[in-house]
Structure 1
């Protein structure tokens, strides 16, 4: 055992026992006996993904605080009370990537963007909404693990989708991050800075802010892409999850911590991997993503004929992860799910027949488990576009664009996101929110 890891475990041992009995601080979400709770009552929610919230809240060139307020008001009116947001960003060499970023160079932070996150949290608190903040990214659209590897000199770097490096080369490369000590030292420096931050708007330390529901280690961390590399990398992957979550708990014992995992699809198709990744006591709940188009279960260009079989696979996937969460005695959040618009269109006003059907399917599964007293605590659809619109005819993001949408730069703007004019999809979300709110 290294000296640094011994010190980490010693610090964690000095904390009150995780899950120990005793009153929870008012307003903080807690996880115990396989359920999420808030002030002594079950916490169940309908949520959305809004990765760009801090960007809108910024006083810098990406900022639009008036739009941020409008978007949050729209979401609150729909019954959305929980947002999953990006709390990091590193300069990425990828052609389609977020700009500006929190770290243009290692250890040099864009204070305007960080104040944007402060503003977002302050605005959420005014609306009695909660945030899940992810601290890293397996994918290069926000920099993430490949950016840290690049800074650490662990190369050669190449971007996702590079035809000269076909899948799963990218996933194997990004997953080298877990075992790279230099890359992790850079990441942990930022992690400590953010978790230890004091909000410039409210004056409240992040660790004392009940608006934050959870810190998330990364967006969709995977042990690798190929079976050979991934299996060999599992020890480093598990160790990274345990060590990183322990660091966060040492810095901030009040807030929940989760992985950001997709489930078995992102874990070498092995349910045992999901269990081990979520086993540490410092991981409070299980996460799940459901992407039938991306996984080849539903053909986006032939959805009417492939939908039924794909939905059946999704239902089975969710059911199997509910069982895994029960076995771990931990709550489950379906924190990403989405489907393309009919005909793989991108524009607001294009048909969403299959998408609405898919949303209802996921919502029905979640609601049924909630009614049965199961581990499902909530859902976050991917993602909220709101009044954002693609700025170019091909619908691709370009550096300098400021009309952010929920679809990240690696995807066409409008592919999966929900626009403020998508009346039928909004009705589906509102109906589910009403049903969840009506649970005793």
Structure 2
């Protein structure tokens, strides 16, 4: 059986009929916990039903891709609680998510690990190895061996609900190697002295583990999962978010190198994120370039780089806070212009056959009735962000997918 997941062909995503594939998507948090029953739906109903509802909503509204973490957010549902020991309950929760996605013709971007968490994350591997430097995640042979074993285990797993191995699963769109990889450099210190070799270690790690992943799963695409910062000396270094309270050159200290990180042949497409508030480049910041201008510069730089690599690009995370108390006016003035700008760029890419193939907002709130009064990042179903921007764009993207076969693509 050959998966129907879109595959990358010369700066295009194509399906099995060689038709171009563009998408609007969303990021989902704690999906594993919902599927595993650790988070109870606030208005009742089974966890399985709520997961099915998520993908039913996606299908009904034209959202074709959902991005989520393979691992659990909470320690009780870690997929790998110890090196080489795996949590079958967590895996079965993931099985159910994949089945529901497949049932509703929705694709998944699955992030294999995370920079920010201990459980199923970078720091967990470091602690297992009794290391004190978080950067050893990228260099320690034992840690890399554990990570590769995790790759082998998850790609070879047979879904208990479908009988299909993950490495042949049609619902999987792509793997993220790690969500937002960074070195341990203290970027909050303007005068931090960072180890240049740590940045090189991220590049070597990307080449190493992406190559291994391709030996375990040749059917699905692979990307890095990073924010997309530029190092000192890069032609696009001035596109980094700056200055912020962390000092003007803090992004150069993260160890990321967007262009080179996505250069290996084992990386199928370029992915990047956009966080105006977290990076202090929103409308009220002191940055010399801020607000929509900064966001637009950021997106354009990454699309230009992806084009130079001959690879598709995906904005796989972007979000915008709304100040409390949340009001319709606040949503319209603070969040909507950013969402409209991103999705306008996606529509333009479809029209002009550009490299931007998809954009996934953060965060999709799909459990009605939750106490989210303080969650300023969620576009809710009755928000104009959802009704006037996300859904119309998603439906328009589905409607206007190019139907001309991509040259040099072999169907099947």
TM-score clears 0.5: yes
Number of matched pairs: 370
TM-score, scaled relative to structure 1: 0.77
Q: 2:35 aligns with which of 54, 57, 79?
A: 57
In structure 2, what is the equivalent of residue 179 of structure 1? Answer: 139
In structure 2, what is the equivalent of residue 81 of structure 1? Answer: 64
SS at match of 1:385: coil
In structure 2, what is the equivalent of residue 71 of structure 1? Answer: 54
Which residues in structure 2 correspond to 1:251-330 (within 5 Å)? 251-264=216-229, 268=252, 273-298=257-282, 302=284, 309-330=290-311
SS at match of 1:334: strand
1:352 aligns with 2:312: no
In structure 1, what is the equivalent of residue 376 of structure 2? Answer: 415
SS at match of 2:257: helix
Q: Is the 8 A contact 2:3 2:168 kept in 1?
A: no
In structure 1, what is the equivalent of residue 172 of structure 2? Answer: 212
**Separation in 2 of the partners of 1:358 and 1:148?**
36
Residue 120 of structure 1: how far off its partner (Å)? 0.7
**Separation in 2 of the partners of 1:251 and 1:195?**
7
Q: Is the 8 A contact 1:84 1:133 kept in 2?
A: yes
In structure 2, what is the equivalent of residue 197 of structure 1? Answer: 157
**Separation in 2 of the partners of 1:271 and 1:320?**
18
SS at match of 1:42: coil
Residue 143 of structure 1: how far off its partner (Å)? 4.7
Q: 1:188 aligns with which of 148, 163, 166?
A: 148
Q: Is the 8 A contact 1:261 1:288 kept in 2?
A: yes
Which residues in structure 2 correspond to 1:325-404 (within 5 Å)? 325-341=306-322, 343-345=323-325, 351-353=330-332, 354-387=334-367
In structure 2, what is the equivalent of residue 16 of structure 1? Answer: none
Q: Is the 8 A contact 2:24 2:394 kept in 1?
A: yes
In structure 2, what is the equivalent of residue 234 of structure 1? Answer: 199
Residue 270 of structure 1: how far off its partner (Å)? 9.5
Residue 334 of structure 1: how far off its partner (Å)? 0.4
Q: Which moved more, 1:75-84 or 1:257-266?
A: 257-266
Closer/same/farther in 2, CA of residues 43 and 426 from structure 1, 3 Å limit:
same
**Separation in 1 of the partners of 2:372 and 2:104?**
33
Q: Which moved more, 1:76-85 or 1:312-321?
A: 76-85
Residue 235 of structure 1: how far off its partner (Å)? 2.2
Unaligned regions of 5+ residues in structure 2, if any?
Answer: 41-45, 230-239, 241-249, 403-412
Q: Which moved more, 1:278-287 or 1:420-429?
A: 420-429
SS at match of 1:207: helix
Q: Which moved more, 1:234-243 or 1:315-324?
A: 234-243
Residue 141 of structure 1: how far off its partner (Å)? 6.5
In structure 2, what is the equivalent of residue 159 of structure 1? Answer: none
Residue 55 of structure 1: how far off its partner (Å)? 2.5
Unaligned regions of 5+ residues in structure 1, if any?
Answer: 1-23, 91-96, 156-172, 396-413
Q: 1:45 aligns with which of 23, 32, 41?
A: 23
SS at match of 2:77: coil
Residue 69 of structure 1: how far off its partner (Å)? 1.6
**Separation in 2 of the partners of 1:86 and 1:392?**
21
Q: Is the 8 A contact 1:59 1:113 kept in 2?
A: no
Residue 187 of structure 1: how far off its partner (Å)? 2.1
**Separation in 1 of the partners of 2:80 and 2:379?**
29
RMSD: 2.9
Closer/same/farther in 2, CA of residues 61 and 363 from structure 1, 3 Å limit:
closer
Q: Is the 8 A contact 2:2 2:168 kept in 1?
A: no
1:243-275 CA-partner distances (Å, limit 9, x unpaired): 111111001111101100111259627999211
Q: Is the 8 A contact 1:267 1:274 kept in 2?
A: no
1:169-207 CA-partner distances (Å, limit 9, x unpaired): xxxx54331012222222222221111111000000111
**Separation in 1 of the partners of 2:395 and 2:21?**
15
**Separation in 2 of the partners of 1:122 and 1:180?**
35
In structure 1, what is the equivalent of residue 43 of structure 2? Answer: none
Closer/same/farther in 2, CA of residues 260 and 139 from structure 1, 3 Å limit:
same
Residue 236 of structure 1: how far off its partner (Å)? 1.2
1:136-165 CA-partner distances (Å, limit 9, x unpaired): 10112755111111111112xxxxxxxxxx
Q: Is the 8 A contact 2:3 2:219 kept in 1?
A: no
**Separation in 2 of the partners of 1:102 and 1:310?**
39
Residue 228 of structure 1: how far off its partner (Å)? 4.1
1:97-129 CA-partner distances (Å, limit 9, x unpaired): 564322333332221111111111111111111
Closer/same/farther in 2, CA of residues 271 and 223 from structure 1, 3 Å limit:
closer
Higher relative contact order (CA 8 A, sep 6+): 2
Closer/same/farther in 2, CA of residues 84 and 392 from structure 1, 3 Å limit:
closer
**Separation in 1 of the partners of 2:75 and 2:64?**
26
**Separation in 1 of the partners of 2:126 and 2:205?**
15
Q: Is the 8 A contact 2:114 2:178 kept in 1?
A: yes
